[in-house]
Structure formats: C-alpha cells, structure tokens
Structure 1
Amino acid sequence: MDKFLTKFNFSQPSASTEANRSQLINELNLGPLEADPGERVTIAEYNPRIRDEVRRHYIRTGPCQSLLKKYPTTQIGNRGRQFVSNWYKGIINACAKETVKAIIGDLNGDYFGILVDESKYISHKEQMALMLRYVDKNSEVVERFISLVHVSDTSACSLKKEIYSLLSNHSLSPSKIRRQGYDGASNMRGEINGLKTLIKKDSPSSYHIYYFAHQLQLILVAIAKKHGDVEDFFDHVTNVLNAVGGSFKHRNLIRQSSS
C-alpha cells in the first residue's frame, strides 16, 4: 500500500509553506489594522495561516477606548451635550450588573456549585475568580462567571470571607452550595484548614471535586514545552480548526458526516 501513497512529514512545515506564510504576513501590514472591534475585519475573513498573527496583534495593542480629554459636542435642543471618559466605567458596571442579574435569575434560587481559583495579577496583587455551576431552566448544566475580586491574601479564611460576601451580594445562601471545585493548592483543598473544609462545615452537602481539567492542562503545557512533536501536533490541530472554521462548506460536511 505504501507504494501508492506519498508520506508527508508533519513534524516541520515545508519551506514553501513558511515562505508563503511570511509573504502573507508582510502583505498584511499589521500596523494600520482597525482597532475598533465594530469596524475591524473579522478573524474568519483572514487566511487561516495568518489568523494567529492577527490575534497576537490585537492582543498586543490592548483594548480600544477613545479616551479623549474633550469629546465632540452635539447640540441637543438649547444645550450642548458630550461624552465623558468617566462614563466608560458607569457603562461597564451597568453591563456587569445586568449580566449577573440574568445569571441569578436563571439559577432561580436552586442549588449550585462554586468554582474558585486564585492567582496573582500582573501587578502582583492577589485576586480570586468565582464561577457558578448549576442546572439552568433548560435542564442543562452550565458554568457562569460571576466576579473577579482582589483579596488581601489567599488564605482559606480570607477566600471564604470573600466568597460568602459575593454570594450575599447576590442574595445567594451558602447553604445552597452542593459542589466545590478548586485546584490542588493546600489552602484550597487542605483537609484541616483548607477552603473546602471550612465551607463543608457550614454546608455538609457541599462535596469537593478536584479540578482534573486543570491538572490535565498543566501536564499538557509541561509536555509541549519539552517535546517538539507534541507542540507541533497542537499547532496542526489549531490550523485544522482554523481551516474548517473559516469554510462553511467544510463545516457543513463534517456536521453531516457526524450526524
């Protein structure tokens, strides 16, 4: 059978492929790309081989906000009205509150699980992320991000205090907790003074389930850094996903074959 097939080495991209990709990147001219998400070309419209370069460019440029000292004035009736830069925060907070309000409404006072992770921010300040896991009104298990808050320290007592404070702010009772999900840090899953133990004392039915997906992620990252073949494999998977995702025809064929 081998004589009828041509084997291709996927470990390293061909020289022609790399040359073509470099040419596409040079022709793209990342500098003048539109920063406003409402005006920019969607990622799907770029060649799949350079989409990652476009993503990196937008990440490096940071968020798009028109922070001006003075905004243009629009005459409305007898008064001149203009936007104020401080309103960016009144708008963001309002959107966040309405989003969380919709999540709490979807939960509808039922039991839920909490997913908590803590880490240091780029400014070396400690922060904690809280998510809720529950069964929604469509009987589907969903996970929803609630808040990211700064904490004085990452001890179990401090984290418990912040979690209870966040739950109280949204009229959620700790007695409704039925699941706890943390990583392997001792302050989170310690049997004596860990966060899971402190919460379980208040809510005996709040069973702890380890972050197995988080453990798998750490393993994959460590392997990919030391083994080029593994790193190449995930690069090829990313390219395949980009190619299929950018083609409605290929996407429909895959859906038809899987059904």
Structure 2
Amino acid sequence: MDKFVIRSNIGQSSSNSSSRPSVSSNIAPEIQRGTILSPPSNVDSVLELGSPNHDLKERILILQYAPNIRDEVRRHYIQKGACQPSGHAFPKTKFGNKMRQFNPDWFKGPYSQWLEYSIKSDAAFCLCCYLFKNVLESRGNAGDAFTKDGFKGWNKGTERLRTHVGEQSEKVKSDHRIRLNALVDVVRFLLRNGLSFRGHNESEDFEYKGLFLELLEFHGDKHLDVGKVILHKAPKNDMMICPAIQKDIVDACAKETIKAIIQDLNDDFFGILVDESKDISHKEQMALVKRYVNKREEVIERFLGIVHVNDTSALSSQKTIYDLLLDHSLSSSKLRGQGYDGASNMQGRINGLKSLILQDVPSAYCVHCFAHQLQLTLVALSKKHPDVNIFFDVVTNTLNTIGASFKCREILRQHQVEKLEELLKSGEILTGQ
C-alpha cells in the first residue's frame, strides 16, 4: 500500500512541501472529485437552486452526495424540471464563415424533457445524464459533453442531439418490450412460488445456471417470439439478466403488490399484527401484517413489510411501525386494532407498545395473540397435570434423540415401513391407488 500513498509530515515547512511531486489528476479521478456531502436537514440548502449565481456547469455531481440523499436530490431536480431559459438573447459563435447560436426551438422538440441551457456558460447540458449517469460510463454517447463540460457545437447541434439520444426503430422497441415482459413473467413465477433465482455458475457453457436463467430459456423455447429476443440473441448491452436488474424487477413487483393491497384497503380502517424475532444472522427483525375488511366484506390479512430494528423498546417499536405505515401512505389515525404477543415491551400497561399507541389512537384496541395465548395455556396446564407434563417431556426427548442421529432416523423409518405393511395387509388403511 505504501507505494500508492504519499505521506506528509505535519509541521513540515512550505518549501519542502512545494518541492514534493503532486498527484496527477488522471489517477482515480472519481476519488479526487470531492468529498461526500453529509445528509442535510434541508436539501434546498445544499442544492441552492434558487441562487442567481447557480450555473449548470458548477453544480455538484450526484455521486458526491451521500448515498442516502441521492434519490431525494434527483427527485428535487426532476420536480423542478430542466433549466430552459425563455426570452434570452442567445449569443452567437463563429464557425468557419457563419455565425451560429443555440436554437431555442430545441426546447419544444423531442429533447424538451432533458435538454438544458446555461446562460453563464453558453452551453447545453443533459438533465438525465446528470442525474443518472454512472461515473464509470465516460465513453461513447455517455461522455462529459452534456454533463460536465457542456455542449457548444451549435453548427452540428441537431446531429449531436440526435446522436446523444440514440435512435431506435420500432422493431428494437418491440423486441425490448417482449424481452422485458418475459423477464417479468419469470420473476413473478419465482416470487409466487418462493424459489431462488441465482445459480452457483451462470456461464453459458455450464449445465445448470440457476432457476432464473433456466426458466427464461424454457420460456423462450416454448414461445418462439420470446426466444428470438432473449439471452444470447439479445443485444449484449440489453440482455437484462444481471443480478442488479433482477433485484430491480423484484423491487418493482413488491411495490406493485403493496400498491394493490393499499388500493384494496380503500383508505378504510385497519388493524396491525406485529411480532419480533431474530433471523439466522442474529438480527432482530420486526414483521408487520395488516388486517382489514376489503370491498367484498372479507376479512383479509396481508403482510406489509419486515424491518430490522436495533432497539426492541416500546418507544422504538412505535416509531418503526409509524414510519412503516407512513412509507405506504397509511395514517395511524385509521388504526382500529393491535395484535401482539405477551412480551412486556408489547403488553405493558404503562410504557408498553400497546399503551403508547392507545394514547395516540384510543380506538386501537389490543387483542392478545391467540396462538401465544394457546402456548401460555398449554404451559400452565402442563404444570398442573403431571400426565400432560410427562407427555410433552417424552415428545421433546424423542424428537431430540431421533433428530440428533441419522441412524436413529433410519431405524424409525424402518419401523414405520413395517408398521405400514401390517396395516395394509389387515386392510385397516388404503394406499390410495
């Protein structure tokens, strides 16, 4: 690592520092471009969009914002729209023997949604590239001409704008639509059946490439129109089978599912069922289920989300629940029921989650979870009746003994086979054939 690091001594004279070789700006440009901005209390204070000195060429790169506020910054720019000054006298620039200038009619054509113009720099910019271009995509049409430097070649303006967008024929658009629909169908099937997507090796020459690719290939074999535009028959930059795109489609399916659940609720009253448990990675997870009566007067229970919680206190759980409801545009004032287990942080009369929510919504009555009540009933019953207690002890010991040894499991299976044969011979049970 030492050969990649230039060490500096604190307190060294400026004369020595001036003789030290400087780091070339060509080395890791994305690292030297600036520090990551911390999340502000108000995005407007960082963007400073209302400042008269704000220039498109000088605005902060999206990747220099903190990752947790980038989407908010993008949303702010999208809501504001492209910077397209009207009534401005665009200056002329000499190209050869002719004077050229920015054509304001470009704002009204097919480039109206993304084309921007900087009065200070007399240059054109692309809003979409500024918001969504990856820092590594600095080749071809995704260079810095429309993002960092600005475009000033007015003599070839129409040609360059058309090249920047990229023309697509109707066939290319149709193939892309067929390909995307096939991917969505495969993802929906895997999600509905709770199946995994990825394989250990997804290379083309590998025999089994995972359920996602195998099912997509099967889908293409059964539907010729799909088979002509997917996998190796699709453009290399538009195959849409990478893990990131798979996750995007899964996320879109989840959002559409929750959207359908919210629409089915129809802004009516609802109840919540909440439980906390540790997952396999020993992280505390809170699951929330919404219970409501739909338009057909049917009682429906729908899983709304699962959230990782660092603190299991009642106050923290209340905030987590309210935030989750707010994320899905659900108001806590519509809450009319609560369902938890018997934990003290849930059922506490003073500072329990039940009591905190009742203080905000007095009509949100709490019902102790029936399954947990049954468990508590069995525990209390087994303590008072020795026979019941012995029964559960025997069942527990039997499961532990058999489950700990493969030999014991095999012996049990053999005894079951012999017992089954006796019952079949006596006619007490039927095979179903």
TM-score range, shorter chain: 0.5 to 0.7
Deviation per residue, 1:37-62 (Å, 9 max, x gap): x89xxxxxxxxxxxxxxxxxxx9xx8
SS of 1:172's equivalent in the other structure is coil
Percent identity over the alignment is 53
Q: 1:156: which partner in 2?
A: 314
Q: TM-score, normalising length from structure 2?
A: 0.36
Which of 287, 308, 327 pairs up with 1:129?
Answer: 287
In structure 2, the gaps of 5 or more residues are 1-188, 206-230, 383-388, 400-430
Q: Which residue of 1 aligns with 2:349?
A: 191
- The one-letter amino acid paired with 1:86 is A
Superposition pairs of residues 1-259 of structure 1, within 5 angstroms: 63=196, 65-66=198-199, 68=201, 70=203, 73-76=231-234, 81=239, 83-217=241-375, 225-228=392-395
1:160-211 CA-to-partner distances (Å, cap 9, x unmatched) read 1110011101111000000000000000010010001111111010001000
**SS of the counterpart of 1:178?**
strand
Cα deviation for residue 66 of structure 1 reads 2.7
Could you list the per-position Cα deviations for residues 57-97 of structure 1 after superposition, in whole angstroms to 9, with x for gaps in the alignment?
Answer: xx9xx845235465685233696735112223212211211
Structure of higher CA gyration radius: 2
Which residue is 1:55 aligned to? Answer: none
**Aligned 8 A contact 2:342 2:372 in 1:** no
Q: Tell whether the 8 Å contact from 1:112 to 1:176 is kept in structure 2 after alignment.
A: yes
Structure number with higher relative contact order (C-alpha < 8 Å, ≥ 6 residues apart): 1
The CA RMSD measured in Å over matched residues stands at: 3.4
Aligned partner of residue 241 in structure 2, secondary structure? coil
Q: Structure 2 vs 1, CA of residues 214 and 91 (structure 1 numbering), >3 Å: closer, same or farther?
A: farther
Q: CA deviation at 1:212?
A: 1.7
Q: CA separation of 1:227/1:216 partners in 2, compared to 1, >3 Å: closer, same or farther?
A: farther
- How far, CA to CA, are the matches of 1:71 and 1:199 in structure 2? 55
Residue 155 to residue 77, structure 1, CA distance change in 2 (3 Å):
closer
1:136-183 deviation digits (Å, cap 9, x = unpaired): 111011111000110111111111111001110111100000000000
Distance 1:77 1:132, change over 3 A: closer
Calculate the TM-score normalised by the size of structure 1.
Answer: 0.59
Q: Which moved more, 1:137-146 or 1:77-86?
A: 77-86
Q: Counterpart of 1:127 in 2: which secondary structure?
A: strand
> Residues 165, 69 of structure 1: CA spacing in aligned structure 2 closer, same or farther, 3 A cutoff?
same
Counterpart CA distance in 2 for 1:108 and 1:78 is 44
Letter matched to residue 278 of structure 2: K
- On the 8 A contact 1:188/1:194 being kept in 2, the answer is yes
Q: Which amino acid aligns with 1:74?
A: H
String of CA shifts for 1:107-133, please: whole Å, max 9, x gaps: 000000010001111211111000001
Residue segments in structure 1 that go unaligned for 5+ positions in a row: 1-37, 40-58, 233-245, 250-259
| Structure that is richer in strand per residue | 1
